[in-house]
Structure 1
Amino acid sequence: MDINCDDDLLSSDFFDDIYSSRVGKQHGALPSVIVIGGGISGIAAARMLQNASFKVILLESQDRIGGRICTDYSFGCPVDMGASWLHGLCNENPLSQVISCLGLTLYRTSGEDSVLYDHDLESLEETDKVRNEHSDDMSVRQAISLVLDRHPELRQGGLAYEVLQWYICRMEAWFAADADTISLKAWDQEKVLSGGHGLMVQGYDPVIKFLSKDLDIRLNHRVKRIVNGYKKVVVTVEDGRNFVADAAIITVPLGVLKANLIEFKPKLPEWKLSAISDLGVGNENKIALRFDNVFWPNVEFLGVVAPTSYSCGYFLNLHKATGHPVLVYMAAGALAYDLEKLSDEAATNFVMLQLKRMFPDASEPVQYLVSRWGSDPNILGCYSYDAVGNSDDIYDRLREPLGNLFFGGEAVSLDHQGSVHGAYSAGIMAAENCQKHLMQRVGSLERIPVLASRDKIVEVPVPLQISRL
């Protein structure tokens, strides 16, 4: 049954009439939830609520699930064109049990195993003093400039200066943003789980398939409007169809919210809109190259130094981790956006020029893949980061529910924004809050056989399989 949405939707009587006509008001009807967004956060929320005996529909705008997790198999091997690492190889990582249960292998990467490696440069250490001396926030790039003005002896020229730019390039890749937009106040305050960083050797796709099994997922359902009433939520998709439920969990990427691609009725309050507007969203793209032969050294990363961080670059060597002759060039910030202006062939040619600066006799790739996360209308960026001047409560405002609307996604993670496990845990948190809200409305837990909210999706205590110690 289709519904014509207008301002009358805000009345509780309208919702009662529509809902009773669609699902009836029989005693003991299961609470219903619409999850918007089929990334790992939305899938985790839907999985938990379905396990708790809720009626759940997941709406995804694309013809696939996974969001910014996208494992490509066209090379004859898995290549993650989006998320590819598990940050924190430890039991405290909420994804460790899922990965262990599936028997997936992680390859522990280290910045030291590279042609260029991360340097603990004194000029960057000095930025902490600048932060302590200034109450107002500034960018990391501005802080470095102040340090070099204050300590001329730290100014380096030639190759040493270019190494500093490469280090900044790697930092920009971590945030998917340029150093002149990253907050000095927050850039090194992230809570990182122990155990190092593990590359998903088989890709993240098996995790997505496992978590999404038997869920009611509607692909090619682009949400255009969300009406949040007193008792019900009406979600309108692009073709005009409407879905009605007791509550909705919104896990679309931050870039989509920033672009106002979804209309909210009533409009989101100013405190929510300002949080969405102010938080930074970065962009990082990958150009994956498959070769017939391996002509590069057996290291994890291959770095290209240059006079500016924009001109620097680095390749991830998948051959060392997986045995396949694949290099992945990674570009963040302004460079990532500029590469999206090129055709796939032109972007690959640009990357090959970088590679031939290191290996003049490098062979041409037999296949290539190019990501475009910044211009993908379903994504519009990679993940959130602390921009200059962010308020201390910005993440609290982002995750704060609004009536029957709850918010998930990596940007609302409690401590691990920008990571897969952060997105996963944010989905679980949104589902728990939604469940509590609806159970309080029902007023009797005995009416619905709801599982404990902290029940594990998997409970098999299997250690992580790490291929490099």
Structure 2
Amino acid sequence: MSPSPSSPPRRPQRRAASSRPASYDESLDDAALTAYLGDAPSRRVRRLRRLSAEERQRETETEALIALSLGFPIDELLPEERPLLPAHIADAPNDYIVVRNHILASWRADPAAPLPRARVLETVAATYDHLVAAAHGYLAREGHINFGVSAAFPAAPPPDAALQGPAAPAASVIVVGAGLAGLAAARQLLRFGLRVLVLEGRARPGGRVYTARLGEDAAAVELGGSVITGIHANPLGVLARQLSIPLHKVRDRCPLYYPDGRTVETRLDRSIDLVFNTLLDHATRLREFLNEAAEKISLGEGIEKLRRLYHVATTDDERMVLDWHFANLEFSNAGCLSELSLAHWDQDDPYEMGGDHCFLAGGNSRLIHALCDGVPVLYEKTVKRIEHGEDGVSVTVEGGQVFQADMVLCTVPLGVLKSGSIVFDPELPEQKLGAIQRLGFGLLNKVAMVFPHVFWDEDIDTFGCLNKESSKRGEYFLFYSYHTVSGGAVLIALVAGEAALEFEKVDPVVALHRVLVILR
């Protein structure tokens, strides 16, 4: 789903059921490019040489759209891209952008195989060799191409690295944290030829990605991150393709139910959906009108004032449906609307990944295990102190053991940094300390259940439940069904907003009882 103020991030879509197949194949996105370029490099060269002006323009437009889906502007440089390029290229980037887009599209056509610079040179006119060198170097160095977990991308330097002649001993890096960020970084650093060691405080990898096996059938249940939220530009989608793991598109239909079990009528559902998105549109205009004054107003306060001003959602049924949308918005942002800023609540929209939301067959831990392959990780090594100076770094773990390296890459979550459990010597710069202090992180709770069989509609992946009390609108407001990918009849009930805060105080047995009452 494309991000916009009227379409909050990570919102499950609730349009009519899609005609697309339930089994999602990301490679279909590249079908036009693949059909045009063909399979073999030699065939690509021959066809490119015979292009008419019209065909060449069509190819350029296709590759620009693929680059756009990967997060690159069609006709300009990324802000972080410009300073990394030679000045003469950055000042007149048009031809470079065409070459860059061509390289991105070429690699996405088959991300299971490396795309060396020599192969790109075969498909681009010789006059642009210097642009190929700049674009390929940037994309490879920054991890936009030639990354992943297929057999072609082991956690080791490529064989041709030895052909570059003798060099100084490889630098050593300690990576703190074996979550997705730490493991992915460690693999890339190993491929760049550095010596790497990962220290992980838990007894398992994955961090906030954790697939448990529950029930007699050992069904895969996501206790952490559950959904690939947008397949375009998402490196997790690339890893899934490289491992040939099926992706299940989260189907659009999401019926809503009243507390007494009645289904919300389609007409009312669509009407309040329009009201909700219109309120968000007006909230955007309101903050533009208020300018700096919007800094002191929460998103919740702004929306409620607009609701009263326009006199919408006035009946009990209408208000319950609108509350469900508010709960969904709180789920999307992992925070209460009363704590979200009217001025900045959607500031990450430009960085949202477009495309379908997907479940990964067998659980997200399959990606974690693939990322671990070949990466040296020491578990139950909780880092307590990081010292750095001219001679490198030393990392002290719980129990007093010390590890030394040339540099350290710290990938621990924001909450760990806020807790102060890791001492930095010398202390982090004021700019970073200030950012750690100001930044917030949200809360989302869930109840995972495995049943003997699927007793709900097998043709849906989500359904929602309304609540009579606005303060409890986020309590089990949305259910995810994982029966298509988990190997069992799995339901997960989500708890967001104020209800998520209250959930922290509830006994798990009591929480499960409440969920079962709703389902009954």
Cα 1:211–1:219 change in 2 (3 A) is: same
Matched, 1:353 2:509: no
Q: Does 1:142 align with 2:301?
A: yes
> In structure 1, what is the Cα distance between the partners aligned to 2:379 and 2:321?
46
The secondary structure found in structure 2 opposite 1:134 is helix
Q: Distance in 1 between matches of 2:204 and 2:497?
A: 26
Instruction: Specify whether residues 231 and 333 from structure 1 end up closer, same or farther in structure 2 by C-alpha distance, changes over 3 A only.
Output: farther
How much does 1:185 deviate? 2.5
Q: Which has the larger radius of gyration?
A: 2
The aligned residue for residue 58 of structure 2 is: none
Deviation by residue 1:5-24 (Cα, 9 ceiling, x = unmatched) = xxxxxxxxxxxxxxxxxxxx
Q: 2:219 aligns with which of 77, 102, 105?
A: 77
Q: Is the 1:47–1:215 contact (alpha carbons within 8 Å) kept by the matching residues of 2?
A: yes
What corresponds to 1:332 in structure 2?
496
Paired with 1:275 and 1:111, the residues of 2 have a C-alpha distance of 37
Q: Deviations over 1:316-342 (max 9, x none)?
A: 122355563111011124323332333
Distance (Å, rounded) in 2 between the aligned partners of 1:334 and 1:262: 30
Where do residues 53-92 of structure 1 align in structure 2 (5 Å cutoff)? 53-75=193-215, 76-90=218-232, 92=233
Choose from 154, 168, 176 the match for 1:36. 176
CA distance in 1, matches of 2:254, 2:315: 25
1:304 corresponds, among 438, 443, 465, to 465
Aligned match of 1:14: none
Q: Is the Cα–Cα contact under 8 Å of residues 254 and 463 in structure 2 kept in the other structure?
A: no
Is the Cα contact below 8 Å between 1:71 and 1:80 reproduced in 2? Answer: yes
Tell me the residue number matched to 1:124.
280
Q: 1:112: which partner in 2?
A: 253
Q: Find the aligned partners of 1:276 and 1:123 in 2 and give their Cα distance.
A: 32
| Contiguous gaps of at least 5 residues in structure 2 | 1-166, 258-268
The 1-side partners of 2:202 and 2:424 are apart by 21
How big is each residue's C-alpha offset from its partner over 1:399-450, in whole Å with a ceiling of 9 and x where there is no partner? xxxxxxxxxxxxxxxxxxxxxxxxxxxxxxxxxxxxxxxxxxxxxxxxxxxx
Q: Does 1:98 align with 2:260?
A: no
Instruction: Give the count of matched residue pairs.
Output: 328
Instruction: Quote the residue 1:23 is aligned against.
Output: none
Output the TM-score relative to the length of structure 2.
0.60
Residue type of the alignment partner of 1:221: K
Identity of aligned residues (%): 32
Alpha-carbon distance in 1 for matches of 2:241, 2:313: 47
Q: Provide the aligned C-alpha RMSD in A.
A: 2.0
Specify the code of the residue in structure 2 equivalent to 1:88: G
The 5-angstrom pairing of residues 121-270 of structure 1 reads 121=275, 122-135=278-291, 136-137=294-295, 138-151=297-310, 153-189=311-347, 190-191=349-350, 192-270=352-430
Q: Distance in 1 between matches of 2:299 and 2:471?
A: 13
Kept after mapping to 2: 8 A contact 1:34/1:245: yes
Amino acid at match of 1:185: A
- Residue 444 of structure 1: aligned partner: none
Taking a change above 3 Å as real, the CA distance of residues 340 and 215 of structure 1, as seen in their structure-2 partners, is same
Instruction: State whether residues 166 and 309 of structure 1, in contact with CA within 8 Å, keep that contact through their aligned partners in structure 2.
Output: no
Judge conservation of contact 2:327–2:497 (CA < 8 Å) in 1: no
**Following the alignment from structure 2 to structure 1, what is the Cα–Cα distance between the partners of residues 279 and 230?**
28
Greater alpha carbon shift after TM alignment, 196-205 vs 34-43: 196-205
Return the structure number with greater helix share: 2
Q: How big is the shift at 1:93? A: 2.4
Q: Is the 8 A contact 1:35 1:250 kept in 2?
A: yes
Paired residue type of 1:207? L
Separation (CA, whole Å) in 1 of partners of 2:379 and 2:253:
42
Judge conservation of contact 1:108–1:199 (CA < 8 Å) in 2.
yes
Give the aligned partner of residue 275 of structure 1: 435
Deviation larger for 93-102 or 205-214: 93-102
How far apart, in 1, do the equivalents of 2:450 and 2:254 lie?
A: 21
Q: Find the residue that maps to 1:78 and give its secondary structure.
A: strand
Residue matched to 2:6? none
Structure 1 residues 270-316: Cα deviation after superposition (integer angstroms, max 9, x where no partner):
22111111112011122111112333233222211123153341111
Per-residue CA shift, 1:131-158, capped at 9, x if unaligned? 111223232101112212432x224221
Correspondence list, 1:360-439, <5 A: none
**Residue 48 in structure 1 maps to residue 199 in structure 2:** no
Question: In 2, Cα distance between the equivalents of 1:290 and 1:338?
Answer: 24
SS in 1 for 2:196: strand
Q: CA deviation at 1:130?
A: 1.4
Amino acid at match of 1:142: E
Distance 2:462 2:244 in 1: 26
Q: Is the 8 A contact 1:168 1:309 kept in 2?
A: no
Deviations 1:72-120 (A, max 9, x none): 1123121111112112223x32232211011111111145333367823
Structure 1 gaps, min length 5? 1-26, 360-469
Q: Which amino acid aligns with 1:354?
A: I
Contact 1:162 1:308 in 2 (8 A): yes
Q: What is the distance in 1 between the residues matched to 2:298 and 2:229?
A: 25
For the residues of structure 1 that align with 2:430 and 2:181, how far apart are their CA atoms? Answer: 25
Name the SS of the counterpart of 1:228 in structure 2.
Answer: strand
SS at match of 2:256: coil
Shift of 1:350: 2.6
Cα shift at 1:124: 3.1
Structure 2 SS opposite 1:161: helix
Paired with 1:226 and 1:115, the residues of 2 have a C-alpha distance of 50
Once the two structures are superposed, residues 206-257 of structure 1 have per-residue CA deviations (whole angstroms, 9 ceiling, x without a partner) of: 1111111121101000001111212311111011111111111110011111
Q: After alignment, is 55-64 or 71-80 more displaced?
A: 71-80
CA contact (8 A) 1:223 1:236 kept: yes
Distance 1:167 1:52 in 2: 46
Question: For the structure 1 residues 310 and 277, does the alpha-carbon distance in structure 2 shift closer, same or farther, using more than 3 Å as the test?
Answer: farther
